[in-house]
Structure formats: structure tokens, C-alpha cells
Amino acid sequence: MSAKTLGIVIPAFNEEKTLYQNMQKLTHVLSGDRIDHRILLVDDGSSDGTWEVIARLTAESSRFSAIRFARNFGKEVALCAGLRAVSGDYVLIMDSDLQHPPRYIKDMIALLERSGADIVDGVKASRGRENPLYKCCASAFYGLFRRVTGIDLRNSSDFKLLRRPVVNAINALDESHVFFRGLVSWVGFKHETFSFSVDERIGDTSRFSLSRLIRLSLDATLSYTSKPLYFTALAGGIFLLFALILGIQTLYTFFSGSAVSGFTTVILLLLVIGAILCASLGILGAYVARIYDEVKHRPQYIISEQKTHEE
């Protein structure tokens, strides 16, 4: 296979049950494909025995190293931390539950080298078994996200292969709230897509609850675009137009002596304008909160422990 080394970043959050077997499977496939690899595990503040499993992996093999967060900072942040610490000419991002199947890795590397691309994006050909509510929310989110940002993230995934310059470019970005797929798309470079079918998550369910998914979509939108701020201006414009038309009509009825009535209109207008004002304030507030968070300049994550193989 390729003479380049492959660094793999894998975030793990409460994965004690499956992590060990999954990592065994992964290294087995990679060794079979003769890919020279290093695996960096990021323990995203797990509250179960994930760190002990990781300690065992790093003790057994020099291919493993790991960092541990002081608390759960979220997958997006874990990926950023992983990218800063990982070595290798190529860097692969994948999930610890092997829903991003290792058997595709050699094809992704081949595609990267053959096409001369800098980034290979794994695209889900089928989304695997997901609960219908999750599926529905994911599709609503991607639809909204595409409309607001102009980027199509549908079926996109965090299964990505990056060349070193891309990793360096992402590491140079200095934001505290990140949406990883948004960053990878923002830095540019030459992309190739690789379509794969998602495997089942064995013995467990997704770590993302509905509320986490909603938070992720908010984070994604707020960190990627400031368009919603202009929506408020647009709403203002539309209402100005209505105000003009209704204003003229009101003045006309007043001067022609047939005023009064129109109580319904007043109530409706009050309600609609009130709602729009509140919504606009909410959008403004969301961005102000972000600015506040960014100017505090807190570190994106806190590493409590690191592990490498000791001879």
C-alpha cells in the first residue's frame, strides 16, 4: 500500500463496552491492508471505564496514544483536539463505533492518491438504522442548513481523510464553538466524495439525544453564518411595506369620515409585530451570546491526562 503514514483520530464518549473489540477489529483490518497507522483516541470526558480501556490499548500497542478531556466537551471539540495532536501524512477521522467501516479506508486512500484531492469526504449511501424521529430531525436540519448557508451537508459524515496541509489549515483556526464539517468545507481545498454504507452500531445506541442534535444544529448555523441577522432586516423591510399600504388606507378612511371599526386589524398587527420583534431580538441575542463566549477567550477544551505506549 501507500508509503505514507496514516494518523487516525477517534473520539470516544462512554464506549467502554465496545471500544476494545472495535479497536482490535480496526487494527486487524489496517494491518491486513498493510497501512502504516497511528491511532489517537480522544476520551471526551467519559463517565464510565472508557479511559481504562484506552489505557489498556496504549499499554499493549505503540500504535495507540490518547488524550483525555477533563469533562465532556462534545464530539466537534474532540475532533479539533485530535487534529492538533495527531501525526501522519494523511489524517483520517472516524467514529469509535465502527459505523464508519474500516474496510473502506484503503479505498479512500487510493482515491486520495489517484485523484490528487486534498480531502476525501465520506458520504452516506444509506444512513443505517436510525429511529424515525432522528431521521426526520436530521433531514429537517440539513434542509434548513442548506437553505441558510448554501452548503449541502445531507448524507455527509465525519468520516474524512485529510492531507497534512488541510489539517494544518484547520488547526490554525481559532474559534471556540465549532462545527467540524462546516470547518472542513470552509477551508476549501480539493474535495472528492467517497460513498459508503453505514454499518449498524453494535450493542448500543447513538450518543446523540434529540436535544443534543438540536444544540448541534444551532451551533452549526450560528458558527457558520450570520445570515439570520439579515432576516430580521428583511422582516423589517416587508413590514415597512405593509405599514405604508395600511397607513395610506387608514388615513384615507379617516379623512373620508368612515373610520373606527378595524379592531381586528389592530390586534393582528400588534400580535404579528410583537412576535417578529421578539424573534429578531432572540436572533440578535444568540449572536451576542456567541460574541461574549468568544471574547472570554476560554480554552476550547481542557486536557486532564495523556497516554502513550511505554516500552
**Site residues, ligand UDP (CB under 6 A):** 11-13, 15, 44, 72, 74-75, 78, 95-97, 99, 201, 206-208
Q: Angle 99-101-103 (CA atoms, 0-180°, nearest 5)?
A: 170
Q: Specify which residues 41 forms β-bridges with.
A: 10, 66
207 binds, among ligand UDP, Mg ion, none (CB under 5 to 8 A by kind): ligand UDP
Residue 182 interface partner, choices Mg ion, ligand UDP, none, CB cut-off 5-8 Å depending on type: none
35 has which bridge partners? Answer: none
- Round to whole Å and give the CA distance between 209 and 265: 43
Q: Which three cell numbers stand for residue 25?
A: 477489529
Give 17 or 201: the residue with its C-beta nearer to Mg ion.
201
How many residues belong to the site for Mg ion (CB under 5 A)?
4
- Taking phi over 0 as left and psi of -120 to 50 as alpha, with beta for the rest, 35 belongs to beta
Span near Mg ion by CB under 5 A; candidates 10-18, 89-97, 217-225, 285-293: 89-97
How many whole angstroms separate alpha carbon 36 and alpha carbon 259? 83
Specify the residue, 37 or 283, whose C-beta has the smaller distance to ligand UDP.
37
- Half-sphere exposure of residue 221: CA atoms within 13 angstroms, side-chain side: 19
97 near Mg ion, rule: CB under 5 A: yes
Residues with Cβ within 8 Å of residue 144, at least 6 apart in sequence: 217, 221
In the bound state with Mg ion, the residue whose beta carbon lies nearer, of 99 and 155, is 99
- Verify binding: residue 18, Mg ion, rule CB under 5 A: no
Cβ proximity to ligand UDP, 56 vs 201, nearer residue: 201
Give the containing element (helix H, strand E) for 257: none
Least separation, in Å, of the C-beta of 262 and ligand UDP?
A: 53
Residue 15 as a binder of Mg ion (CB under 5 A): the answer is no
Judged by beta carbon distances under 5 to 8 A according to partner kind, the member of ligand UDP, Mg ion, none in contact with residue 11 is ligand UDP
| 99 near Mg ion, rule: CB under 5 A | yes
In the complex with Mg ion, which residue's Cβ is closer, 163 or 207? 207
Q: Which stretch binds Mg ion (CB under 5 A): 23-31, 165-173, 193-201, 274-282?
A: 193-201
Burial 115-146 (b: 16+ CB within 10 A, else e): eebbbbbbebeebeeeeeeeeebbeebbeebe
Is 76 a binder of Mg ion (CB under 5 A)? no
Which is closer to ligand UDP, CB of 45 or CB of 88? 45
Strand, helix or coil for residue 40: strand
Per partner kind, with CB cut-offs from 5 to 8 A, the member of ligand UDP, Mg ion, none near residue 223 is: none
Task: Choose one: 165-173, 195-203, 209-217, 242-250; the region binding Mg ion (CB under 5 A).
Answer: 195-203
**Strand order across the 303-308 sheet:** 191-197, 119-126, 156-163, 90-93, 6-12, 37-43, 64-69, 303-308
Rounded to a whole number of angstroms, the distance between the first and last alpha carbons of the chain is: 28
Closest to Mg ion by CB, 128 or 274: 128
- Least Cβ distance, residue 31 to ligand UDP (angstroms): 21
- Chain residues in the site for Mg ion (CB under 5 A): 95, 97, 99, 201
